Amino acid sequence: MSRDDDDPFAPPKKAPAHVVGQLLDDLSVEELGLRIAALKAEIARLESARTAKEASLAGAAAFFKPAG
């Protein structure tokens, strides 16, 4: 049990904007558009993090490359 579960003054947890695999039948066209936009923003954030990690790995590999 996390500390927030015990805190009666903690703000209520928000439901995620989208759950992968969730049924989409009850969503309006507008709600689907909002979810698509949110997921595209998340994909961009993930790609940016991946690019940063790849650059970090490349820098480390170059630094620790054996002389020869």
Indicate if the pLDDT at residue 1 is higher than 60. no
Instruction: Round to whole Å and give the CA distance between 41 and 21.
Output: 18
Question: How much is the pLDDT for 47?
Answer: 98
Tokens of 55: 């650059």
Indicate if the pLDDT at residue 67 is higher than 80. no
Mean pLDDT of 25-35: 95
CA 29 to chain centre: 23
What is the distance in angstroms between the CA of the first residue and the CA of the last residue of the chain?
Answer: 53
Alpha-helical segments (H) within 1-68: 3-6, 29-63
Mean pLDDT of 36-60: 95
